[in-house]
Amino acid sequence: MIKKIDIRGIINSMGLVFGDIGTSPIYTLSVIFIITKLTEEHVLGVLSLIFWTLIILVTIEYSWLAMSLGKKGEGGTIVLKEILVPLLKSGRQVSVITFLSYVGISFLLGDGVITPAISILSAVEGLRVIPGLESITQNTLILIAGIIAIGLFSIQRKGTEKITWVFGPLMVIWFATLAFSGVISIFSTPEVIKAINPYYAVEFVLTNGWTGFFVLSEVILCATGGEALYADMGHLGKEPIIKAWRIVFVALVLNYLGQGAFMLRNPDSTNVLFEMIYQQEPVIYIPFLIMSIFATIIASQAMISGMFSIVYQGISTRIAPLLKIDYTSEEMKSQIYISVVNWLLLVSVLFVMYEFKESHKLAAAYGLTVTGSMVITGIMMTLIFYIRKQMFRSVLAFLVTIVDFVYLLANMYKIPHGGYWSITIATALLCLILIYTTGQKRLYRLLRPMPFADYLKKYNQAYMRASKIKGTALFFARDMSFVPPYITHTMFDNGIIYEDNVVISISLSEEPFGVNTKFREEIAKGLRVFEIKMGYMEVIDLVAMLKTEGIDERTIFYGEEEIITDNIIWRIFALIKKLSPSFVQFYKLPSEKLHGVVTRYEM
């Protein structure tokens, strides 16, 4: 008997994890049969490909293999990197895997632009099935979809905690409707059930040559959103997501089979799901259309929250610059809002809606970065299982990666048809990550921090001689093994020494969550170090933490770097540093106590 808490977890998973893959039936088959003839053999072949794609790429790759890997229940590309890097022996291997993880993150972020656009636009296009609205212009549909997108992105600042409780129940109704409509259609044309046999998938690809191969680039649309099973594991837990997937999988398969049956009976259909529902029961069509729009909004919301989460992971692991973050929930620390990401994503979504005009044209660009991300996940999983000597899983992950790679090759066909936008967005993001991470390393070398032993010797001499200022001064250093130049400039060059000097050291652990704090023993008179070790996905309230420890500072010193350069790459890096908030702004430290120490460096 399923426990009550399991049922709640399953329902929540349907709302927060399966929105994207759950709305794929709106457009997948309609798009596939734009590029291939509608015959019984083709319908059975395509349905078989969809069934086995869901089995291999979602059930095996993500639901089983990927979800067996995690750190304290967390998943995603960054987590895979954090698991794999300590297992590697050479620096070159670490560099390759680190680069691959950057590519994977860029692909996921690039995919985040198209998901809301195609989901919302494809649902709004269902208006054309309503009698009297057949001639509604595409520009009007784009306007409606754009207004929905603007509304969705505008509420992000206020947080979605108050409305997310309805997401799960709505998606339960959505999946139940998909399954029920599919079963009704299958009863009229039961031969579509034969598509479960993989023979039809293999025969379709082999007998249709290049066309059969390129059809794979549209078949992958049925699995977009599958990566959310692993990426969202930390929010809901492994078991509820796996149990929910079993239900979702059955509902999706029944609906796809039902749509295939409907197409055999109605070969002229163009908007298959909506036309099938309208033919089955015209009275429920408008409620279904409204529900489909809500389902796509839920799918888009999950993607937006996912974007915030990925960017925050990037900030925490220092592959992305500091950005202003607001916490939208007092109870759930994972509920965050990043203004820059939100509005850039909205502008990008509106742009691709305007650029592509129709959902089937958007589908021509969709899936390329998704398959790229799947390949990277497959490679990293294969290596982890191999190094851990889990040979069966390693071989299975390798075979799945080959399938991923075949889908990626098929999706190369999409590049001239709009896929270049996905590649352009992902490439731009990857370049920013590489410029930022490389620039940070170069800048750190230029900083020339003072070894702690040398610093301590000078500090003791200065503290004895100096006229000390009353009160407590705070300083920040990532690692006290080497003391940042701004601290030495403040104390030794400018002679500013307080009676009590506290250095706050914030470092990341290899685990996603957990916060450990402690004061090191007083290392010199008037000098203390307060260490904070936090998980790389942890969100902390630094001000509250310092208050809890009884630290009542009078002044907070922090370092800022002014970069002078003629190099175009370092100019971009300098601009990123200039536009991103400083460390003290990121942690919302009290502005009236701040004192910035600016140092100029030439790169």
pLDDT at residue 180 greater than cutoff 80: yes
Q: Does the pLDDT value for residue 537 go beyond 70? A: no
Q: Quote the CA–CA distance of 218 and 410 in Å, as a whole number.
A: 9
Degrees, nearest 5: CA angle 239-245-247: 115
- pLDDT tens for 340-382 read 889 989 999 999 898 888 888 888 778 888 899 899 999 999 9
Is residue 217 exposed (0-12), middle (13-18) or buried (19+ Cβ within 10 Å)? buried
Q: What is the dihedral of CA 302, 305, 306, 311, to 10 degrees?
A: 170
Q: Strands, DSSP E only, in 125-179?
A: none
Q: Which of 234, 217, 432, 263 is nearest to 344 (CA)?
A: 432
Is residue 159 classed as helix, strand or coil in its secondary structure? Answer: coil
Residue 48 has pLDDT above 90, yes or no: yes
Residue 213 has pLDDT above 70, yes or no: yes
Burial class for 592, CB neighbours closer than 10 Å (0-12, 13-18, 19+)? exposed
pLDDT average, residue stretch 254-283: 93
Is the dihedral angle over the CA atoms 408, 413, 414, 419 positive or is it negative? positive
3-class DSSP assignment, residue 527: strand
Check residue 434 and give its pLDDT: 93
Residue 74: band (very low, low, confident or very high) from pLDDT cuts 50, 70, 90: low
Strand-pairing partners, residue 372, are none
- What is the Cα–Cα distance from 158 to 156, expressed in whole angstroms? 5
The chain-wide mean pLDDT, for the chain, equals 86
Give pLDDT, residue 329.
59
Residue 512 pLDDT grade (very low, low, confident, very high; cuts 50, 70, 90): low
Residue pLDDT, tens place only, 451-499 = 888 989 999 988 888 888 999 899 988 777 888 888 888 998 888 999 8
Q: Which residue would you say has higher pLDDT here, 234 or 97? A: 97
Average pLDDT over residues 101-117: 85
pLDDT at 483: 87
Burial class of residue 540, CB neighbours in 10 A (0-12, 13-18, 19+):
middle
71 falls in which pLDDT band (50, 70, 90)?
Answer: low
> Taking 60 as the threshold, does the pLDDT of residue 317 lie above it?
yes
Predicted local distance difference test score (pLDDT) of residue 105: 87
Helices (H), 155-237: 167-188, 198-207, 209-219, 228-231, 233-236
Tell me which of 4-18, 238-252, 254-268, 270-284 is least confident.
Answer: 4-18
Residue 582 φ/ψ region, left for φ over 0, alpha for ψ in the -120 to 50 degree band, beta for the rest = beta
- Structure tokens, 465: 């001689």
- Does 601 score more than 50 pLDDT? yes
Mean pLDDT of 127-149: 89
Residue 156 CA to residue 337 CA, distance in Å, equals 7
The winner for highest mean pLDDT among 53-62, 494-503, 577-586 is 53-62
Does the pLDDT at position 279 exceed 80? Answer: yes
Q: Sign of torsion, CA 6 7 13 16?
A: negative
The pLDDT of 213-230, averaged and rounded, is: 87
DSSP 382-417: HHHHHHTT-HHHHHHHHHHHHHHHHHHHHHGGGGGG
Query: Considering only CA atoms, which of 108, 51, 65 is closest in space to residue 368?
Result: 108
Which of the residue ranges 253-262, 419-428, 535-544 would you say has the lowest mean pLDDT?
A: 535-544
| Confidence category of residue 2, pLDDT binned at 50, 70, 90 | very low
Under the banding of pLDDT at 50, 70 and 90, the label for residue 159 is low
Counting other chains too, the contacts that 396-400 makes at CB distance below 8 Å and 24 or more residues apart are 396/60, 396/65, 397/61, 397/65, 400/56, 400/57, 400/60, 400/61, 400/65
130 band by pLDDT with thresholds 50, 70 and 90 = confident
Decide if pLDDT at 73 tops 70: no
The structure tokens listed for 468 are 């000390």
**pLDDT band at residue 1 under the 50/70/90 scheme:** very low
Retrieve residue 240's tokens. 């509820």
Q: For 332-341, write each residue's pLDDT tens digit.
A: 555 678 888 8
pLDDT at 540 over 70: yes
Q: Give the model's pLDDT for residue 45.
A: 95
Most confident of 11-25, 31-45, 47-61, 538-552: 47-61
Of 197, 220, 178, 183, residue with least CA distance to 44: 197
- Quick one: pLDDT at residue 54? 96
Could you report the per-residue pLDDT of 407-434, keeping only the tens digit for each?
999 998 888 888 888 888 889 989 999 9
Q: Which of 513, 395, 378, 508 is nearest to 107 (CA)?
A: 378
Residue type, 392: F
pLDDT value at 443 more than 90 = no
pLDDT greater than 60 at residue 43: yes
DSSP string, 46-65: HHHHHHHHIIIIIIIIIIII
Is the Cβ–Cβ distance between 557 and 473 less than 8 Å?
A: yes
What is the tens place of the pLDDT at every residue in 227-257?
Answer: 877 777 666 677 888 899 999 999 999 999 9
pLDDT of the residue at 276 = 94
